[in-house]
């Protein structure tokens, strides 16, 4: 079965599993060597149906460009596929939402088969590894076995955190440059 067909079937299953929710699925290159995973879509992502197109996405684009990585050459997705809200504002996905979507994320990665996965923030790191110490683990390579080839994970800060705490930008850009070397 082709990657496109397998992803289409996974998307159809998720749409049935979460009726009435506007889901934002992974985007860009299906044969990418690199996958980037965030926590959940925000307002702009929900509106466009594409991950990382808001302010955080623009910073991610800048970091990718700085590292010589084409956004269209990477596969970009989130752990949770719908926008978690509190009133009209975005909020961090809760544990139940992450647990509900983590198996879908694993299936998505098994379909895409990236060489390296960059987790953007603690939520994505925890969903894949069970660990959430982003400040301790960022920039360090983690290898996990998930029923297939060993998956190389490079944790870094979420671009939204970098927008809030500008002092993180140098480390964030450095991690994205490291991603280029790993792929």
| Phi, psi (degrees; rounded to nearest 5) at 155 | -80, 145
Please tell me the predicted confidence (pLDDT) of residue 1. 82
CA dist., res. 52 & res. 9, Å (int): 23
Domains of the chain, residue spans = 3-182
H-run or E-run covering 141: none
- Model confidence pLDDT, tens digit, residues 68-90: 999 999 999 999 999 987 777 78
* Reported pTM: 0.94
β-partners of residue 116 are 34, 152
Tell me which residues of the chain have a pLDDT lower than 70: 146-148
Architecture field, domain 3-182 = 3-Layer(aba) Sandwich (3.40)
Please tell me the predicted confidence (pLDDT) of residue 100. 94
| Residues 91, 92, 94, 98, Cα dihedral to 10° | 130
- Model confidence pLDDT, tens digit, residues 123-144: 999 999 999 899 999 999 999 8
Query: Mapping DSSP to helix (H, G, I), strand (E, B) and coil, where does residue 48 land?
Result: helix
The answer to whether residues 150 and 144 touch, using CB atoms and an 8 Å cutoff, is yes
Please tell me the predicted confidence (pLDDT) of residue 161. 97
């Amino acid at each position: 079965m082709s990657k496109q067909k397998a992803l289409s079937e996974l998307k159809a299953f998720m749409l049935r599993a979460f009726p009435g929710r506007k889901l934002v699925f992974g985007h860009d290159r299906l044969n990418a060597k690199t996958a980037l995973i965030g926590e959940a879509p925000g307002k702009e992502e929900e509106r466009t149906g594409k991950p990382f197109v808001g302010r955080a996405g623009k910073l991610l684009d800048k970091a990718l460009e700085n590292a010589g990585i084409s956004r269209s050459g990477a596969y970009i997705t989130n752990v949770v596929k719908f926008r978690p809200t509190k009133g009209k504002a975005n909020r961090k996905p809760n544990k139940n939402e992450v647990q509900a979507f983590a198996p879908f994320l694993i299936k998505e990665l098994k379909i895409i088969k990236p060489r390296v996965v960059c987790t953007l923030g603690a939520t994505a790191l925890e969903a894949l590894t069970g660990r959430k110490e982003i400040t301790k683990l960022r920039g360090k390579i983690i290898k996990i076995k998930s029923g297939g080839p060993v998956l190389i994970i490079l944790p870094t800060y979420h671009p939204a955190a970098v927008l809030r705490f500008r002092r993180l930008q140098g480390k964030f850009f450095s991690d994205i440059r490291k991603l280029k070397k790993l792929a």
